[in-house]
Structure 1
């Protein structure tokens, strides 16, 4: 089979185009160099020994063997070999970059919202074939594409004689026409969309004109055409955010599970919403205590949390006494207003072990289990051994696991051998993940069938003592901690404790670790939120000696030399500016009546009225250790004061080059800054603003573009990002270029010149919301700051008089209507904010609805719905109310 490929692409001297054929696993199987006579039209002729059903391929641009760029790979070119008489194919392609409407190619739209069933292309017996290929992403559910035109072969502009096209790839349609029926050398045509009721929608714009080429017997001539365009409004969807652990049904086991997720999908569909967003669902079991309730500290980027197992989908416990005990415990735990994390997880683990002992032998021999193990063994085998060792040694400090300080690849074989003791040790963990995977896949398939987009969450970090670090330590830097600089959530910054990534190592192997992570989550979701997308540009790296985040620095970033600092006119006094500034007046102001005690016990006198922290208290971690178990108000006062002293520097030394420096974040709140002369303050402010808002922009753009393009194209999930915080300009450049949806909160505007965001300015490619899981709910926010609420009441709701407190349901509804009417593609509100519109339904205590408090690193994640999902589904009055609101969307 001979194939002739042609594509137009303007190149510069030294640049070459390549044709890349994809294997079944989407990797490049064969790459061909192309030829050109003018640097504009490129050609490649190949001959296939075998006769495949189809090939997928893409084009790339090279210079001296180095790839400069390639086409959008989420949807590649596809060529079917269905012409029975064909001996050769001549293909005219068009270069495809990421389209502005790339979201319409996501599985969120193709598999959920605009769900259509693809048909096999019928075999073509024509001697000469003219094939037309066109993309039509705007078509909705129940619509299909036809082509009609001027010539008799195309139906003479009659819609009822138009040629039916076949969707052979996502949003891409194809038709084979008998070329011998064309009597003319050129013709005109248009594409039309026909829905399942027979309604016809014609493509807009001028008629398309095509030349009918000379086609030989046994030849298929393929024309890839410009995208079809129809006057169809942009789709806007509404949805709900709720953690799975927060779900409550009549029969759940004290925590939401994957069975409850199906019920919640029913409620979302019942209210005509289209999106259900959840928090991370990965296993976080580290200590077997409530501190593991933090869902963003996963021990495995692949493993699902055992707490989400729906025990109702498992076989019954045969021991009747034990079954009765478990049912009694289930009812007790399910009646609690909040999650008892430890009791729930202990009970579920016990139940799973009982069922494993009953049914495990049969399950492990099943073909479904064997296929699961084969498909997931890369991560599952190390994970299972990690869990076994964690429970054997009683901790996750794998540096203390004698003989198992890190994963040994040679252990894989024996851990997969069903006849070995080692297999017996870990098989329970295989089984649990098999159960979780099958249940979550089932929920995902259920959501797609109901037209609901399940949206997941990909945390930016991993637990530093987790399986991922133990298994593949080359990808992590354990000498620093990831976090976030100070923001509205935390004035001292956030220290998540996660290791930072060794991005250089990750980039060297094509970001395989991240690609596997994204592809794994695509088994369960059709959209996802990238938690803290800023981390792909730069992460806030904090020394391991720190508790808070004030002494962090962006990594990577362009640190400043002494000469650069002095170029701003600021005389750089290295020792003074990089060590804590502790003057007598500072101690008096910070510690008040405790000043003398602090001076004597914790400080050393240097000279004049200047002090330093004693060596045993000169880092935040040392201070933390010294005050462990001391919870009196005076002890906390002194501890926090010492934290403030330890962070009171003007510059932080660079982690990689001790001769370079970073201005300390929010240094203007420091005592060192206060001690500067006014002229030096002005110089420092100019330096500070240049550093944080201008100096690194292009550098961070290039860093993000080394990582994000390959990741967002690794799956067809709809990509959304949490882009809040200290956002440099380059973030918007990258997100726009890669078509990533931004997050828009009216209460946290990205424009520093306004107090509240202007909803009508929200970009279409965005997610709007009123609150996230890290924020107060709408009702809490309303009562937090009366002056701010009054301003919002006047300037955003255009109402006079005093704002009512607490927030009445009718006013919550008005606020939500404004969100629903804004241009954002997705409006996803927390379940608590949806509840706010109904004073009969919502909780009386608004504070009981809070999910997380970021300023508290030891927050207990235990919020649960106060009503059963079954009751929610049956509440017709409330559900009709939501449906009426969503019609506004």
Structure 2
């Protein structure tokens, strides 16, 4: 059959428009044009006879290379017509994201059941297929319909619309017999009640007028696809953020689990909250110590942490003595104020091993397990083998695994063979992931049934000793460390220790590594948070010899040559500007009574009073190793000061080209900057501002637009970005274009004109919150800086008089109401901040409520609710108060289609 495509798109000289079929760039058709605006082309294509549609996108090519594609997760679709249809004439419009793209996400749509379009009888000779995009009708027991000025379209009678079919989520089609229509005709799209078949709402625009030339027998005409809008309220909802490990119920085993998450969703739904946001839940087991409590350093991007298994959902242990012993341990661990990470995992793992020995034959031969294994074996087998080898070798560092140090697929398949002596130990990890999958999927389905969004979290990095680093090392730069430049969290920057990504390699397979990761998440979540979205523009890469983050550089970036540096009026010297500036004054000032010890041990005199670091201590890692067995406070203080000494440079040579340079981040407070002449300081600041705030905007914009459109359109989940820190101007350009929700925090304003974020001015496409897991709670923040608190109390909240020493419940409520009434689509508050407005319910220990301290790389993630979920559900007055606050703020109303006739 013949396909004829027509589209209007204004191109530049040298560009051409192509159609890409089924996301395969090898299957593309080039269109032609006479004026660079009207493009047309045709091809022969055999549509599948079994109702399988053809999907396609438009793309712009230059020099045989794709420079732009249509955005979004929704393709153009052609379904096969009846037996006579041999020619399809398709008028299209270029499609980027639909307006209000969030409405098309799975966060605001229920699970979709595919429906094929109605195929007309074979005696119909010519057809017209109407196509429209319209979200939110299926869940409202409504369908999209068509009504118009001729009898075949109901003659405008509200009870006679023609119902369309939702052939893909929010994509509607209707094919009519062209001979039944009287041309020209007027028509409108309408919302139709599935119960009565009558019109319940009319689209908000003038009547559409249809003109077309007569169709020949066997032709089907597709008018341009359109977005349909009804009078609908903007969707603004409220929710709660809490880590799964922090949940506490009467029956949990010292740590929150997926069963507790289901109960928490019940509480959220009962209080009119529509979002539950969690931290990453991936397996982090590397050392079997509390150091594994850090949830952003996972060993697998797919596998979940075994501690989240709800033992109550599993078969009971038949060994009564062991069962009683575990119950005693459960009661003991569950009564602790915080998570005892090591003991919880030790006891739960012992329980699960015993249960696996008891139930493995039944579970591993079940049909549901076999389905799970078949669908997930690509990652499950390497993960299980990794876990077995980690246990066997007592280390997660695969470089120390002997013959298994380098991943070999055939070798691992042999190791995991059911006839292998290691199989039972490997299959134990299959069992764990299967149970986690079953439980989380059940919780996810329950949340959907309650209309509650579960918002997951995608960490920007992976562990350098993870399954992925073992199996797919070519995707990563193992000689660098990902982190963040200095910010409000850490004056020395953050060093996460994770490898950075080799984006050039990832681009070659269209970022399939990321796409598979996102699609796996979409099985369970309807929204997600991209941790450190700035990393998709550029990542802060720190050399492996550094401990702090100050000696990092953005990757990718545009380093400066010696000549360019000098063009700013700064006399560049590689010898003096790329190595630490050390003299007697600095050593005496910084180290005081220890200065002589430092001179004798760590530095050597170069000339006069100028020193250099000794070769055995010229990197922070070497200094770290020297002090490894010196835990006393005095030694640790000297160590930190030596770190600062090593970071005291003006420029850092580029990782790839040492003859190109980057100005060191935040160097203006260091000695090497202060010793510059005033005019050199001004020249450096001019260069610095250009480099960090102007130079890379266009460059980083294009870097992000290579990656983020592919990733965000891989699923229908609602996309939110954590865009805090040193944010380039191009970040909001990309986030607005891709409709990624920003993160708005009052104590971290994005405008330098304000000391505090202006909550009433937040953009609609945003998530607003009082604080995150990386910050103190509102009550904790209130007591950290009394002068800042006073300005907030008087200038921001407009109160008079003395500032309360501790944040009273009425003040916490006022700030919560302020956030609920903001324009932001999502208002997600931490559970600690929700409970802060109830004096009887709030935790009396403010400090224990903090989840993470980013400046401390060895922080223990162990905070837990101080009351049980059962007790929380019984707090009738508190829960009713949350309900009323959410209702009064307009965040409890579901999307409604109102009659716009």
Q: TM-score w.r.t. structure 1 length? A: 0.96
How big is each residue's C-alpha offset from its partner over 1:669-724, in whole Å with a ceiling of 9 and x where there is no partner?
A: 10111111111111111111111111122221222122111111111111111110
Structure 2 equivalent of residue 105 of structure 1: 104
Residues in 2 aligned to 1:49 and 1:764: alpha-carbon distance in whole angstroms:
42
User: Residues 148 and 426 (structure 1 numbering): CA distance in 2 closer, same or farther, change over 3 Å?
Assistant: same
Residues in 2 aligned to 1:531 and 1:321: alpha-carbon distance in whole angstroms:
45
How big is each residue's C-alpha offset from its partner over 1:707-758, in whole Å with a ceiling of 9 and x where there is no partner?
A: 1111111111111111100111111111112111111111101112210111
Paired residues of 1:560 and 1:661 also in contact (CA < 8 A): yes
Matches within 5 A, 1:790-829: 790-829=790-829
Residues in 2 aligned to 1:14 and 1:615: alpha-carbon distance in whole angstroms:
56
Q: Which stretch of structure 1 is more off in the superposition, 134-143 or 65-74?
A: 134-143
Structure 1 residue 791: Cα displacement: 0.9
Q: Does 1:179 align with 2:178?
A: yes
User: Residues 20 and 571 (structure 1 numbering): CA distance in 2 closer, same or farther, change over 3 Å?
Assistant: closer
How big is each residue's C-alpha offset from its partner over 1:241-294, in whole Å with a ceiling of 9 and x where there is no partner?
A: 101111111111111111111111111111111111100011100001000000
Residues in 2 aligned to 1:37 and 1:130: alpha-carbon distance in whole angstroms:
27
Q: Which stretch of structure 1 is more off in the superposition, 844-853 or 705-714?
A: 705-714
Structure 2 equivalent of residue 858 of structure 1: 858
Structure 2 equivalent of residue 717 of structure 1: 717
Structure 1 residue 141: Cα displacement: 3.7
Q: Does 1:124 align with 2:120?
A: yes
User: Residues 828 and 27 (structure 1 numbering): CA distance in 2 closer, same or farther, change over 3 Å?
Assistant: farther
Structure 1 residue 120: Cα displacement: 4.7
Structure 2 equivalent of residue 71 of structure 1: 70
Structure 2 equivalent of residue 91 of structure 1: 90
Residues in 1 aligned to 2:167 and 2:25: alpha-carbon distance in whole angstroms:
21
User: Residues 84 and 886 (structure 1 numbering): CA distance in 2 closer, same or farther, change over 3 Å?
Assistant: farther
Residues in 2 aligned to 1:758 and 1:373: alpha-carbon distance in whole angstroms:
50
Q: Which stretch of structure 1 is more off in the superposition, 838-847 or 500-509?
A: 500-509
Paired residues of 1:257 and 1:308 also in contact (CA < 8 A): yes
Residues in 1 aligned to 2:748 and 2:448: alpha-carbon distance in whole angstroms:
33
Q: Which stretch of structure 1 is more off in the superposition, 90-99 or 752-761?
A: 90-99
Matches within 5 A, 1:518-529: 518-529=518-529
Paired residues of 1:19 and 1:44 also in contact (CA < 8 A): no
Please state whether the residue corresponding to 2:604 is helix, strand or coil: strand
Residues in 2 aligned to 1:150 and 1:225: alpha-carbon distance in whole angstroms:
20
Matches within 5 A, 1:514-663: 514-663=514-663
**For this pair of structures, how many residues does the alignment match?**
882
Residues in 2 aligned to 1:13 and 1:596: alpha-carbon distance in whole angstroms:
70
Please state whether the residue corresponding to 1:20 is helix, strand or coil: strand
Structure 1 residue 196: Cα displacement: 6.9
Residues in 2 aligned to 1:29 and 1:422: alpha-carbon distance in whole angstroms:
44
Structure 1 equivalent of residue 897 of structure 2: none
Please state whether the residue corresponding to 2:342 is helix, strand or coil: helix
Paired residues of 1:84 and 1:123 also in contact (CA < 8 A): no
Structure 2 equivalent of residue 877 of structure 1: 877
Residues in 1 aligned to 2:591 and 2:177: alpha-carbon distance in whole angstroms:
89
Structure 2 equivalent of residue 765 of structure 1: 765
Q: Does 1:844 align with 2:841?
A: no
Q: What is the Cα-based RMSD across aligned positions, in Å?
A: 2.1
How big is each residue's C-alpha offset from its partner over 1:826-867, in whole Å with a ceiling of 9 and x where there is no partner?
A: 111111111111111110111111000001000000011111
Paired residues of 2:98 and 2:227 also in contact (CA < 8 A): no
User: Residues 15 and 620 (structure 1 numbering): CA distance in 2 closer, same or farther, change over 3 Å?
Assistant: closer
Q: Does 1:170 align with 2:169?
A: yes
Structure 1 equivalent of residue 28 of structure 2: 31
User: Residues 171 and 610 (structure 1 numbering): CA distance in 2 closer, same or farther, change over 3 Å?
Assistant: same
How big is each residue's C-alpha offset from its partner over 1:422-470, in whole Å with a ceiling of 9 and x where there is no partner?
A: 4334111112111111211121111111111111111011111111111
Structure 1 residue 392: Cα displacement: 0.6
Paired residues of 1:138 and 1:229 also in contact (CA < 8 A): no
Q: Which stretch of structure 1 is more off in the superposition, 742-751 or 698-707?
A: 698-707
Residues in 2 aligned to 1:116 and 1:193: alpha-carbon distance in whole angstroms:
18
Structure 1 residue 88: Cα displacement: 4.6
Paired residues of 1:414 and 1:422 also in contact (CA < 8 A): no
* Structure 2 unpaired stretches of 5+: 892-901
Structure 2 equivalent of residue 737 of structure 1: 737
Residues in 2 aligned to 1:50 and 1:117: alpha-carbon distance in whole angstroms:
21
Q: Which stretch of structure 1 is more off in the superposition, 628-637 or 669-678?
A: 628-637
Structure 1 residue 117: Cα displacement: 6.0
Q: Does 1:17 align with 2:13?
A: no
Paired residues of 2:583 and 2:610 also in contact (CA < 8 A): yes
Structure 1 residue 416: Cα displacement: 4.8
User: Residues 550 and 357 (structure 1 numbering): CA distance in 2 closer, same or farther, change over 3 Å?
Assistant: same
Residues in 2 aligned to 1:412 and 1:403: alpha-carbon distance in whole angstroms:
11
Matches within 5 A, 1:203-602: 203-602=203-602
Structure 1 residue 652: Cα displacement: 1.3
Please state whether the residue corresponding to 2:819 is helix, strand or coil: helix
How big is each residue's C-alpha offset from its partner over 1:364-405, in whole Å with a ceiling of 9 and x where there is no partner?
A: 222322222222222211111111111111112222211111
Paired residues of 2:29 and 2:41 also in contact (CA < 8 A): no
Residues in 2 aligned to 1:72 and 1:877: alpha-carbon distance in whole angstroms:
47
Q: Does 1:192 align with 2:221?
A: no
Residues in 2 aligned to 1:870 and 1:729: alpha-carbon distance in whole angstroms:
47
Paired residues of 1:518 and 1:715 also in contact (CA < 8 A): yes
User: Residues 212 and 750 (structure 1 numbering): CA distance in 2 closer, same or farther, change over 3 Å?
Assistant: same
Residues in 2 aligned to 1:800 and 1:367: alpha-carbon distance in whole angstroms:
68
Q: Which stretch of structure 1 is more off in the superposition, 551-560 or 157-166?
A: 157-166
Please state whether the residue corresponding to 1:403 is helix, strand or coil: helix
Paired residues of 1:275 and 1:452 also in contact (CA < 8 A): yes
Please state whether the residue corresponding to 2:77 is helix, strand or coil: strand
Structure 1 residue 619: Cα displacement: 1.7
Structure 1 residue 309: Cα displacement: 0.9
Please state whether the residue corresponding to 2:57 is helix, strand or coil: strand
Residues in 2 aligned to 1:538 and 1:463: alpha-carbon distance in whole angstroms:
19
Structure 1 residue 765: Cα displacement: 1.0
Q: Which stretch of structure 1 is more off in the superposition, 84-93 or 370-379?
A: 84-93
User: Residues 213 and 271 (structure 1 numbering): CA distance in 2 closer, same or farther, change over 3 Å?
Assistant: farther
Please state whether the residue corresponding to 1:551 is helix, strand or coil: coil
Q: Does 1:42 align with 2:30?
A: no
How big is each residue's C-alpha offset from its partner over 1:90-115, in whole Å with a ceiling of 9 and x where there is no partner?
A: 3333221123322221111222xxx7
Structure 1 equivalent of residue 785 of structure 2: 785
Residues in 1 aligned to 2:44 and 2:802: alpha-carbon distance in whole angstroms:
76
Q: Which stretch of structure 1 is more off in the superposition, 218-227 or 403-412?
A: 218-227
Paired residues of 1:514 and 1:711 also in contact (CA < 8 A): yes
Paired residues of 1:237 and 1:274 also in contact (CA < 8 A): yes
Paired residues of 2:51 and 2:116 also in contact (CA < 8 A): no
Paired residues of 2:82 and 2:120 also in contact (CA < 8 A): yes
Structure 2 equivalent of residue 154 of structure 1: 153
Structure 1 equivalent of residue 132 of structure 2: 134
